[in-house]
Amino acid sequence: MFSNRKITTSTKDCSDDAARLRALLREADAVVLGAGAGLSASAGFTYTGKRFEDNFPDFIQKYGFRDMYSGGFYPFESLEEHWAYWSRYVFLNRYADGDNGTYRRLLALVKDKDYFVLTTNVDHQFQKAGFDKKRLFYTQGDYGLFQCSEPCCQETFENADIIRRMVEQQKDMRVPTALLPACPHCGKPVTMNLRSDDRFVEDEGWHRAAERYANFLRTRNGQHILFLELGVGMNTPGIIKYPFWRMTAANPNAAYACVNAGEAFVPSGIARQAICINEDISAVLEALEETGSA
């Protein structure tokens, strides 16, 4: 459908790009937000550097971990150590307050629009910022949910209380054995509800959100839709990026905007309907805030 030729566009002045994007938002009947890891990174949820070093010094010293994400895949010798690492990981990225204002600025930008959010992020930051839960589809899971490791059922389980207790009570890189979480149905260990293999549980809430998203797109077909992609890379382009390109190409009234520092590009086939901004998302949202109040 698309030429192999990609076009990357961005002006040197962020305020000029912001003005163009502000105009697209103003003209849009509906906005579909597609959010990837780059959005949360811009909001302050980095998995490397000082934030990682300050919270995992013992694991770094023992195992030589270089970032939070890769450490999550390490085959720890015991579940007590596994959950010592993961409880800190989840608390830091799901329950602790860390947004530098990026998500709140984004909400202010779209709250009066007819919007829907599709995201591969699992950190719950949209809901914490005040986005309408019924306008969100978290396709890849949620740090706030456990599932059976088998899994014996298509259910997920809230983990806020046990995660906080594991963080508070862990010692010497281990949580108390009595705190090890188990499936309430079969008694087997639980795991995080994160899509990493074919055992990922798509529970009833997941399917309801998927249906709401599909209905949103169906009932707005042909409208002036802005597909606004924020921080989406090429790890899973089939979830957000490629569908956004296809839907923009299929709708002459649609526009596509990509904001992603160093990775903003568009196929030549929809270049006339698109804007690409190779800038930090937080900086662009700040500029949009300024152009909106001017």
Query: Which residues neighbour 42 within 8 Å (Cβ) at sequence distance 6 or greater?
Result: 102, 231, 261, 280, 281, 282
Domain count, the chain: 2
pLDDT confidence tier of residue 289, bands split at 50, 70 and 90: confident
Is it the case that residue 12 has pLDDT exceeding 50? no
Question: Could you tell me the CA-to-CA distances from 215 to 134, 135, 220, 239 in Å, in that order?
Answer: 12, 11, 8, 17
What integer is the mean pLDDT of 190-198?
96
- Residue 17 domain-assigned (yes or no): yes
Higher pLDDT, 67 or 2: 67
**Tokens of residue 26, six digits:** 């103003």
| CATH number where 38 lies | 3.40.50.1220
What value does the mean pLDDT take over residues 199-211?
98
Separation in Å, CA 10 to CA 5, 13, 15, 271, 286: 17, 8, 11, 12, 17
Q: Is 78 found in the same domain as 104?
A: no
Q: What is the pLDDT of residues 49-73, one digit of tens each?
A: 999 999 999 999 999 999 999 999 9
Same-domain pairing of 176 and 246: no
Task: Kindly state whether residue 244 falls inside one of the protein's structural domains.
Answer: yes
249: left (phi over 0), alpha (psi -120 to 50) or beta: alpha
Domain identity same for 266 and 235: yes
Whether residue 85 sits in one domain with residue 182: yes
Assess if residue 35 is contained within a domain: yes
Q: Model's pTM, two decimal places?
A: 0.93
Shared domain check, 89 and 112: no
More confidently predicted of 247 and 294 = 247
Asked, for residue 82, whether it belongs to a domain, the answer is yes
For residue 36, the enclosing domain spans 6-42+99-140+202-293
pLDDT recorded at residue 269: 95
Same domain for 113 and 17: yes
157-158 and 136-138 beta bridge pairing: unpaired
Residues shown for the chain: 294
